Amino acid sequence: MGRIQLKQVQKKFGDVEVIPPLDLEIDDGEFVVFVGPSGCGKSTLLRLIAGLEDATAGHIEIDGDDATMLPPAKRGLAMVFQSYALYPHMSVRKNIAFPMRMAKIPQDEQNRRIEAAAKALNLTDYLDRRPGQLSGGQRQRVAIGRAIVREPAAFLFDEPLSNLDAALRVGMRMEISELHKKLATTMVYVTHDQVEAMTMADKIVVLQAGVIEQVGSPLELYRAPRNLFVAGFIGSPKMNLIDGPEAAKHNAQTIGIRPEHIDVSTTEGAWQGTVGVAEHLGSDTFIHIHGIPGCDPMTVRAGGEVLVNHGDTVYLTPRAEQIHRFDAQGLRIG
């Protein structure tokens, strides 16, 4: 079981309120991702759940029991840190065994779990090495192994992939997702990378300045962002936001249209602009277009075969049903 509830949880560092009182529910077995820009309080929120920081006010419940005052060791949660935080003086085997040693689990049971974790994480050949002799990806796997063997109520991940190179990151992303499918244990995952959030999460929590901007499934957030912040944060490349007369036509202060929801033509369309930079990725082309009133530059995603050059005149047409409307407060209309 791993149901986590935050009730009016608040965190202050001195006089600075990092997290104003907030409520959040994480269901058993869910993969929840906290996402937001640096300094938005997502790591602090995770550390509050872990017990590494004390809440200034409010309650944290784990499986219905009040855990607000419990030390980290007593909460039954396991954490994977950004820096891996392996014990450098212990072998991989001892690192993985450490939480079981602390829990005084019998030696043969410890060995069984170590072997199983090592097999699942491809670490069998490395059990007698020290962390210093492993690559970044292997270290991350050891950190995950150390978390798995505890059989925790929930896993907490604090930006676990940000120290890895791009290729490895994609691989580890898949491994963690698969692990979640296999274990069906609650996972709370912190990242600033919205691609990680979109690809891994059952539920995304978007944070800004300690405030939850929106909670929902990846596609809910993509299809119906609650406000301008979420609209700009979720989706890659970012949603185009248009102010002024063009927005007024749709009875809105601001309208948003995603790059993939705009059709490009060289002959006719709603808006006329000139091509700035075109990024050819092979599968797609991202074209940055200047001269559209209220939005400069506008980014458009076109097919990989589209050939346009700097300075060409193009015409753009947004798909009407994909236009997002926002009011003067930046909140979604309709």
Give contact residues for another protein (rule: CB under 8 A).
50-52, 71-73, 77-79, 81-83, 85-89, 98-99, 102-103, 146, 150
Q: 68 or 214, CB closer to another protein?
A: 68
SS3 per-residue string spanning the chain:
CCCEEEEEEEEEECCEEEEEEEEEEECCCCEEEEECCCCCCHHHHHHHHHCCCCCCEEEEEECCEECCCCCHHHCCEEEECCCCCCCCCCCHHHHHHHHHHHCCCCHHHHHHHHHHHHHHCCCHHHCCCCHHHCCHHHHHHHHHHHHHCCCCCEEEEECCCCCCCHHHHHHHHHHHHHHHHHHCCEEEEEECCHHHHHHHCCEEEEEECCEEEEEECHHHHHHCCCEHHHHHHCCCCCCEEEECHHHHCCCCCEEEECHHHEEEECCCCCEEEEEEEEEECCCEEEEEEECCCCCCCEEEEEECCCCCCCCCEEEEEECHHHCEEECCCCEEEC
Closer to another protein by Cβ: residue 82 or 236: 82
Query: Which is nearer to another protein, 105 or 224 (by Cβ)?
Result: 105
C-beta of 81: minimal distance to another protein in Å? 5
> Shortest approach of another protein to residue 209 CB, angstroms?
24
Tell me whether residue 79 or residue 298 sits nearer to another protein (CB atom): 79
Q: Which is nearer to another protein, 30 or 53 (CB)?
A: 53
Find the shortest distance in angstroms from Cβ 194 to another protein: 25
Q: Which is nearer to another protein, 189 or 229 (CB)?
A: 189
Residue 46 Cβ vs another protein, minimum distance, rounded to whole Å: 11
